[in-house]
Amino acid sequence: MSPLRDPFQSSNRKRRTIRLIDIDSWVDTGLFRTGRFIGAKIEAFSVFMRRFRLTGFPRAVSEVGSDALTLGLGGAVLAVALALPAFDATRNGWESQGDYSVTFLDRNGNEIGKRGIKRKETVPLEEMPDHLIKAVLATEDRRFFTHFGIDVPGTVRAMGENLRADAVVQGGSSLSQQLAKNLFLSNERTLERKIKEAFLALWLETNMSKEDILKLYLDRAYMGGGNFGVEAASEYYFGKSVKDVNLAEAALLAGLFKAPARYAPHVNLPAARARANEVLTNMVQAGFLTEGQVIGARRHPANVIEQTDTAGSPNYFMDWAFDQVKQLRLKGDRSLTVRSTVDLGFQKVADEAVETILREKADVYRARQAAMVVVEPDGAVRAMVGGRDYGESQFNRATDALRQPGSSFKPFVYATAMMNGYTPQSIVRDAPLCIGGWCPRNYSGGYSGAVSLTTALVKSINIIPVRLAQAIGRDKIVETAKKMGLTTELLITRSLPLGAAEVKVVDMAGAYAVFANGGYKATPYAFTQVMNSRGDVLYDRRKDAPPPERALDDTTVAAMNEILSQVPEWGTGRRAKLDGIKTAGKTGTTSAYRDAWFVGYTGNYAAAVWMGNDNYQPTRRLTGGSLPATIWNQAMTYAHAGVPVKPIPFVEPEDGDSDAVVAEAETLEGGEDVRSAATLSAAATAQLIRLEELMRSARPLRPVASLAAPRPIGEIGLAGADPATTNLPALPDAR
């Protein structure tokens, strides 16, 4: 008798369980065998490689070679990554962009200079004298026709000489590299620029013939005196075409490529002739000529024609204006006449103010460079100083350099606060503050307790703007700064309110012009009209420029002008105070005294002054309230001499006349009102009528002080720093 079967037992479930166990066993076995197989292969490979084990000196060589290969590959990847942005400059018709021929006129219609190249004035390479070509190649790049864009032996030789002299005494750049720099890059001495230069040289060699590269180099290189290209230089120095220069003159021209400011014959003829003699020696050493062939040129050096005084030539301005013209992308005729905004008298005074201060105080403060931009309240640039010596360096520090503004950035913080319910009388506590692990400090090391926003900004206290930024939001501060005209990237960091972001001098001048014109964006511009060779107007700013945008409301402008007009009175910018003229502005000094600023304005002009060093080396306690404020004072004293002084909007003029106008609508070039009539309300129109009546009945303003008695430069000393100014160790400073 068979046992009873459990009605709840399923044979299918039993079979399913057995199948899962089989699968698990198969997977485990497979993994085990695979692992054992891989292990055996690795062991076999290891045994095989033991045959090649190195010891002693061969192993050291192998290790070093392996590491060098690894580092070389990593460096190559990094170099390519750094160079990729440079290739953007080779797009969008870069060759035709330089074909513009622009004649610049100043604001009064007088010719001030030219930029670009006229096709009819260029000389074909085959028509240039053979001795000129040989002089250039012997001096700049003897292996030009044999290397691939980078002269490796020349670079190694130059590095050795520079190391031996512990200074830069020889340049290792090939002619192709120099052309790449002239066409696409700046003159900044940085590793990133050198990498881009090398890659762009290779790009030029790939896309152009050697003859075309040489021709471009001879046409585009700066040759001193505001001249670009050998044809322009020959006309300027010798009064004849480059086709007609003799050997001595060709040697002099070839000697200019290295340092046009130092060897320009109209500035230092003995130095130019000595340099030309070196060029003749180079030609002999290169085997291009014999000593007998150059003896005549040595005995009879080149003479140059007499030049008129070129002091105050706005070369930095014209470079910037030329770029602005090219950005218009005008069609058709490329031979243009541009009526610019620059004032030559003002430009000369600005140049002299910068050079005088640097010559007398550069060694004391260890500050080697300066930049300055002066604009009218609508943005018209009247003067631009891009550096101490254009011939020595064409890098425009006013438009291209990025520097931290320090406390001159704080007005953007306070303006944002005014738009978010604060007033100049609002009280904020100056006390210790830490955000995470970051604890900003005041320059004095102490704290003032409860202070008004007016006192905080005039005395440049650090803690207050940091507290304001915490309350209103740093993103709103960036938005305000952008609306007022800053174009650079402003990183939203904890130190942003203290000026840790990087800005341009030209942008700072335009941004402060917003306070001077009553709240409208004042993007700096370089010209008002562009005409072709037939006299047809291709661009007229009064018709073609967009209307100004409102950046700040009247209440904010009034509050900020009330505060900033007190900075030169009893704050950190007392050296900038103009005699008899209401002045407003803000100082700025960054950590380790690397950058010093004064940015200020009157009702007539806004101007930004920066001082520091190209290599970011610290100065010797240079503050914005010392030399930058002094430069600003000297230039602006001239600018206001003998002209009607406009009041700062919503601020009483210097004479304190209670009936004087406290607000005035600024005008554009040509007399147009900044505020469009179509946007005025009935109330605004009535207010303007009332202001007109006040202006008609107002007492005339007191004449400004004579330029003949500026503040003596000799009074400027190391004690010029205001003890009440503030600073932030290891972060952008306060002044």
CA distance 580 to 561: 17
Closest CA to 601 of 567, 551, 626, 572: 567
Q: What are residue 380's DSSP bridge partners? A: 525
CA distance 305 to 235: 10
- Asked whether the beta carbons of 312 and 344 are under 8 A apart, the reply is yes
Q: Which residue has the tokens 């438009």?
A: 399
Closest CA to 452 of 470, 434, 468, 476: 468
Buried/exposed code over 70-103 (b: 16+ C-beta within 10 A; e: otherwise): eeeeeeeeebeebbeebeebbeeeeeebbebbbb
Q: Hey, CA dihedral for 142, 143, 144, 145, is it positive or negative?
A: positive
Q: Which residue has the tokens 């931290």?
A: 404
Q: Both tokens of residue 447?
A: 């704290």
Closest CA to 498 of 595, 587, 409, 567: 409
- Asked whether the beta carbons of 381 and 608 are under 8 A apart, the reply is no
Closest CA to 582 of 624, 634, 636: 636
Q: Collapse the DSSP code of 335 into the 3-class scheme (helix H, G, I; strand E, B; otherwise coil) and give the result.
A: strand
DSSP annotation of 82 reads H
Angle at 479 between CA 564 and CA 599, to 5 degrees: 30
Burial (0-12, 13-18, 19+ Cβ within 10 Å), 14: exposed
DSSP strand pairing (584-589 vs 111-116)? unpaired
Phi, psi of 668 (to 5 degrees): -85, 175
Alpha carbon 205 to chain centroid distance?
29
Give the catalytic positions in this structure: 140, 407
Q: Collapse the DSSP code of 113 into the 3-class scheme (helix H, G, I; strand E, B; otherwise coil) and give the result.
A: strand
- Asked whether the beta carbons of 397 and 595 are under 8 A apart, the reply is no
- Asked whether the beta carbons of 383 and 373 are under 8 A apart, the reply is yes
CA distance 367 to 620: 8
DSSP annotation of 222 reads B
- Asked whether the beta carbons of 259 and 295 are under 8 A apart, the reply is no
- Asked whether the beta carbons of 513 and 420 are under 8 A apart, the reply is no
DSSP strand pairing (111-116 vs 335-340)? unpaired
326 contact partners, CB below 8 Å, separation of at least 6: 97, 100
CA distance 308 to 225: 11
CA distance 488 to 482: 9
Q: What are residue 371's DSSP bridge partners? A: 610
CA distance 412 to 418: 10
288 contact partners, CB below 8 Å, separation of at least 6: 134, 137, 138
DSSP annotation of 673 reads B
- Asked whether the beta carbons of 597 and 589 are under 8 A apart, the reply is yes
